[in-house]
């Protein structure tokens, strides 16, 4: 089998249908509520209508949360608020219903799928419902060596592609994408710094679990050292993922690209999914048109990545827990936009200019 070339996705991915989006915009002008009065919900509905190639937009009937799980050797340096190699505990909490994303998913009726791409644990520690497609046991320390071999990186990307195909074939119409990892924000921040051409200190955040100043300095140093190893391979996305990514990040990248090929919209969560999306954009510049940024995670690297992809987050509630939680919180907003666009009646008369939405001034400052 010939080596996978991520640049080939550029020829496979098309933008959401622009003609359908124009039709959706024209239909919006005819709705009973004045244009502009629903704010960003109009934009969301038109984006979704183009992604579905349907006017009116169809309701989101089969969303799913997909979480790629993996451990990272760089966590041994104390760059995370959690113990190195303990991601399996996060996996158990999600699948046993004892984590924020699990509680929200249960309340919303959204199924959750966890994929073991590179956990560092014995298989018997995992619930039976985990998708067991492990590429390797944990990813390497990116400050001193490669996270993966190039062959492992390709295997992980193909894993993500296969999961995307399975979801699309089963009728999933929107993905809430997240990650489960200890130390994962370090390779994610490294990827973003490398692709944006910035320094380690600019992208180093506190992570979902929160770290003190000393741990932040260790994390910053690890990203700095990893960046030295990343820059020589910036021209090849697969080698970049192998050098400073990880099995879960490579799988997420493959998932995002193949989801775009299959015209399946995705809501991104935090800095890890943003980093993978940025790698995906480097391979296929049209791919970000299929993604929404669910929330602001507070990680400076996420902000840089989203700015580079021109993705404007839907929510900013200070949610830093990760695990797809912020992206899942954005799902009802997307569903509401679709419902309003599809179910509001059209006007019987054209909209008059004086009826268009105008800002309402407050009586007080």
HEC-encoded secondary structure of 259-274: HHHCCCCEEECCHHHH
Q: Could you tell me which residues are beta bridge partners of residue 266? A: 175, 291
Calculate Rg over the CA atoms of the chain: 21
323 noted as active-site residue: yes
Report the SS3 class of residue 31. Answer: strand
User: Of 294, 343, 278, 347, whose CA–CA distance to 44 is shortest?
Assistant: 294
Residue 79: other Cβ atoms inside 10 A: 27
CA distance 258 to 135: 18
User: Of 209, 174, 117, 171, whose CA–CA distance to 328 is shortest?
Assistant: 174
| Token pair listed for 210 | 């929160």
Q: Which of 323, 346, 349, 354 is catalytic?
A: 323
CA distance 124 to 118: 15
Q: Residue 31 burial by CB count (10 A; 0-12/13-18/19+): exposed, middle or buried?
A: buried
Q: Which residues are catalytic?
A: 323
């Amino acid at each position: 089998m010939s080596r996978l070339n991520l640049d080939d996705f550029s020829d496979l991915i098309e933008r959401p249908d622009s003609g359908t989006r124009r039709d959706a915009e024209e239909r919006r002008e005819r709705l009973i509520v004045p244009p502009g009065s629903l704010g960003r919900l109009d934009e969301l509905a038109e984006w979704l209508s183009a992604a579905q190639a349907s006017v009116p937009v169809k309701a989101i009937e089969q969303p799913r949360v997909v979480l790629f799980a993996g451990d990272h050797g760089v966590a041994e340096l104390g760059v995370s608020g959690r113990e190195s190699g303990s991601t399996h505990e996060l996996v158990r909490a999600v699948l046993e219903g004892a984590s924020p994303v699990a509680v929200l998913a249960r309340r919303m009726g959204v199924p959750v799928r966890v994929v073991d791409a590179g956990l560092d644990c014995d298989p018997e520690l995992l619930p039976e419902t985990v998708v067991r497609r492990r590429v390797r046991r944990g990813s390497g320390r990116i400050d001193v060596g490669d996270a993966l071999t190039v062959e492992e990186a390709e295997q992980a990307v193909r894993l993500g592609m296969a999961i995307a195909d399975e979801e699309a074939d089963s009728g999933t119409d929107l993905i809430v994408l997240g990650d489960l990892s200890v130390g994962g924000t370090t390779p994610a921040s490294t990827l973003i710094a490398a692709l944006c051409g910035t320094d380690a200190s600019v992208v180093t955040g506190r992570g979902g679990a929160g770290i003190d100043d000393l741990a932040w300095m260790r994390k910053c140093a690890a990203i700095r050292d990893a960046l030295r190893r990343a820059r020589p391979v910036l021209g090849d996305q697969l080698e970049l993922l192998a050098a400073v990514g990880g099995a879960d990040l490579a799988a997420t990248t493959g998932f995002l690209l193949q989801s775009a090929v299959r015209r399946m919209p995705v809501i991104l969560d935090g800095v890890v999914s943003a980093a993978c999306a940025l790698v995906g954009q480097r391979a296929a510049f049209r791919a970000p048109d299929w993604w929404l940024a669910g929330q602001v995670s507070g990680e400076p690297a996420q902000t840089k990545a989203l700015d580079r992809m021109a993705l404007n987050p839907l929510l900013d509630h200070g949610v830093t827990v990760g695990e797809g939680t912020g992206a899942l919180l954005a799902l009802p907003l997307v569903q509401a936009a679709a419902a309003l666009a599809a179910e509001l009646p059209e006007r019987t008369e054209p909209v008059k200019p004086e009826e268009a939405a105008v800002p309402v001034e407050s009586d007080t400052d």
